[in-house]
Amino acid sequence: MSHKPSPRRFVVRPAKGEFPDLEQRVAALGSVRPLKGSTEAAVVEIEVEIQSADHKETWESVRDALGAQHDVAPVLLDDEGGEHYPTGTIGVRFEKVPDEDELDRFAVEHGLKVRARNKYVAAQADFEIANRESSYLPEVVEKLMSSEKVRTAWAATESLYRRCD
């Protein structure tokens, strides 16, 4: 299943888990709602007319309004329009199992920090973006996917599901 960035919704995760002035900061752009089921994230919905069709420019506007202390990423939409909320972790499965030095070099080359290796799949590791305030998540994942060393890469997400009776 592929994910596309939402042009109007962004998940915000504050560095210190607090949102003291979030609503005031985004008032000129749109509204804020808590992410259902999470005390550590909120969703910003852009309600003003957006001048650019470039989703990255919209992300930059939200990021600039909120300030660098907040982690901002676009909500990811699946093929059916379902929303998926990035957690800040990027999963990577490599073509070959990297040793620790190779993993560290890979992280530095791609502007990432190693979070952890997957204890069940040796060729898989979790990363976070080292410079979140200037790195657009969809571009980072796309760049990782183009690496010959990478079998697949994805943004880890939280998702809400509806029960169908």
**pLDDT tens digits along 17-48:** 666 677 788 888 888 888 888 778 889 998 87
Between 109 and 48, where is the model more confident? 109
Look at strands 4-14 and 70-77 and give their pairing. Answer: antiparallel
Q: Domain residues of the chain, as ranges?
A: 4-85, 86-159
Whole-structure pTM value: 0.88
Domain at 86-159: CATH code: 3.30.70.80
Between 16 and 81, where is the model more confident? 81
pLDDT at position 128, please?
95
Are 4-85 and 86-159 the same fold in CATH?
Answer: yes
Query: Mean pLDDT across the stretch 8-18?
Result: 81
Per-residue confidence at 164, pLDDT binned at 50, 70, 90?
Answer: low
Q: Which percentage of the chain shows pLDDT scores above 90? A: 53
Between 120 and 69, where is the model more confident? 120
Between 101 and 131, where is the model more confident? 101
> What's the whole-number average pLDDT of the chain?
88
Write the class of the CATH domain 4-85.
alpha beta
**pLDDT tens digits along 53-81:** 678 888 988 888 887 778 899 999 999 88
**pLDDT tens digits along 137-154:** 999 999 999 999 999 999
